[in-house]
C-alpha cells in the first residue's frame, strides 16, 4: 500500500477543521489495517507506525491525529496474531471516531449555557464543535452570530451558510473588523486544532479575536475535547506557508505572508470548554500531563520538536 498516495488527499485539505480531518484519517487507518500486506504482527505494527507518522506530517497542526495514532499503536501492542492485530487496529480507529463524535457533542452541550439569551456570539473559521454549540443553543434561546470570514480561504462562509440555513441571524464580516465587532458581542467562541505548550493553535485571527475581546471585557471560550490536548513537550507546529496566490497574485517584488494557523496563550481565554465542563489553565495542564505517549510517537516527537519549535 502506497502510504504517500493514501495520505495525499488529507495533506491537500487546507479548509477542514481538526475533527473532520481526524474522522477522515481514522477511515484511512481502518483501511490500512485491513489491506496492508504484512506477514506478521511486527510488519503490521511497522506499517501502522509509518502511516501514523505520515498522517502527523500531512496535518501537523491537528492534535486529534496524535490521539488517533496513540490509540491505534497502543491497541496493537502485546498482540501476537496478525489477524487479531488487524482487528484491534481497525477497532481502535472505529472507537476513536465514535469517541470523537460523542466528545464534540458533549463539548457543544457544555458551551450552550455560556451563551446568553438574545446574545450575540462572535466566531471565526468553521469549527464543527462551535457550529454544534450554536445550533444546540438556538433550539433553546434566541441568539445572533457574527462570523468572520477567515482569510485567505474564507471558510467562515461555510459556517455562516450553515447557520443561516438553520434560521439563525448571521452577520458576516472581514477579519480586520474584529476589534469593532467584538464591542457589540456578548461572547466569543472559537475552536482549536491543538492545545499544548504554545497554547491554543487555531486558524489565524484567533489571537486577534482573543486580544480584542480581552480589551473589551468580553469572555472568550475555546471549545476543545480531550483529543485536542497534546502531552507536555510534544511539538506543536503551526503548519507551513500556503500558496501566495490565495492572498494576492502580487507583483514580483512583493512578498506574500500566508500562514493558516497561529498560537494563542491559554491565559487569554476565559476557559477551555471540554467534555467535563469549563477548565482553567491549571486543569488543562494537569490533563495534558496525564496523557500516555507510545514509544514510536515519543521518538517521532523528539525528532520533530527542534525543527518545528521555530516553525
Q: Which residues are catalytic?
A: 193
Instruction: Answer positive or negative: Cα dihedral of 207, 246, 26, 124.
Output: positive
Residues 68 and 22 sit within 8 Å (Cβ to Cβ): yes
Spatial distance between the Cα atoms of 27 and 32, rounded to a whole number of angstroms:
9
**What angle in degrees, to the nearest 10, is found between the helix axes of 82-111 and 41-58?**
30
- Write the Ramachandran bin of 109: left for phi over 0, alpha for psi from -120 to 50, otherwise beta: alpha
DSSP state of 184: T
Spatial distance between the Cα atoms of 111 and 270, rounded to a whole number of angstroms:
12
Provide the terminal-to-terminal Cα distance of the chain, rounded to the nearest Å. 31
Residue-wise over 234-267: b if at least 16 C-beta within 10 A, else e?
A: bbbbbbeebeeeeeeeeeeeeeeebebbbbbebe
Residues 56 and 66 sit within 8 Å (Cβ to Cβ): yes
Spatial distance between the Cα atoms of 200 and 196, rounded to a whole number of angstroms:
7
CA atoms within 13 A on the CB side of 224: 32
Instruction: Answer positive or negative: Cα dihedral of 106, 198, 48, 3.
Output: positive
Contact partners, residue 138, CB within 8 Å, separation at least 6: 166, 167, 168
* Helix, coil or strand: residue 205: coil
Amino acid at each position: 500500500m502506497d502510504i504517500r498516495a493514501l495520505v495525499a488527499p488529507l495533506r491537500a485539505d487546507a479548509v477542514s477543521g481538526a475533527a473532520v480531518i481526524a474522522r477522515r484519517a481514522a477511515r484511512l487507518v481502518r483501511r490500512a489495517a485491513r489491506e496492508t500486506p504484512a506477514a506478521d504482527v511486527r510488519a503490521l505494527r511497522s506499517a501502522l507506525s509509518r502511516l501514523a507518522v505520515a498522517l502527523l506530517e500531512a496535518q501537523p497542526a491537528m492534535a486529534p491525529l496524535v490521539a488517533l495514532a496513540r490509540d491505534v499503536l497502543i491497541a496493537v501492542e502485546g498482540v501476537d496474531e496478525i489477524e487479531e492485530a488487524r482487528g484491534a487496529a481497525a477497532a481502535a480507529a472505529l472507537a476513536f471516531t465514535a469517541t470523537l463524535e460523542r466528545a464534540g457533542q458533549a463539548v457543544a452541550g457544555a458551551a450552550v449555557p455560556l451563551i446568553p439569551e438574545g446574545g450575540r456570539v462572535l466566531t471565526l473559521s468553521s469549527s464543527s464543535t462551535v457550529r454544534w454549540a450554536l445550533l444546540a443553543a438556538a433550539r433553546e434561546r434566541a441568539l445572533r452570530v457574527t462570523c468572520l470570514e477567515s482569510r485567505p480561504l474564507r471558510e467562515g462562509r461555510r459556517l455562516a451558510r450553515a447557520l443561516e440555513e438553520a434560521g439563525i441571524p448571521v452577520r458576516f464580516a472581514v477579519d480586520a473588523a474584529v476589534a469593532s465587532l467584538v464591542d457589540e458581542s456578548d461572547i466569543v467562541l472559537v475552536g482549536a486544532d491543538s492545545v499544548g505548550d504554545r497554547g491554543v493553535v487555531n486558524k489565524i485571527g484567533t489571537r486577534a479575536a482573543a486580544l480584542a475581546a480581552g480589551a473589551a471585557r468580553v469572555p472568550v471560550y475555546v471549545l476543545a475535547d480531550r483529543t485536542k490536548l497534546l502531552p507536555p513537550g510534544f511539538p506543536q507546529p503551526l503548519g507551513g506557508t500556503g500558496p501566495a496566490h490565495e492572498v494576492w497574485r502580487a507583483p514580483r517584488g512583493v512578498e506574500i505572508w500566508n500562514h493558516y494557523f497561529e498560537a494563542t496563550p491559554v491565559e487569554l481565554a476565559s476557559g477551555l470548554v471540554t467534555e467535563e465542563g469549563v477548565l482553567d489553565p491549571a486543569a488543562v495542564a494537569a490533563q495534558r500531563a496525564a496523557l500516555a505517549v507510545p514509544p514510536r510517537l515519543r521518538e517521532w516527537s523528539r525528532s520533530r520538536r527542534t525543527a518545528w519549535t521555530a516553525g
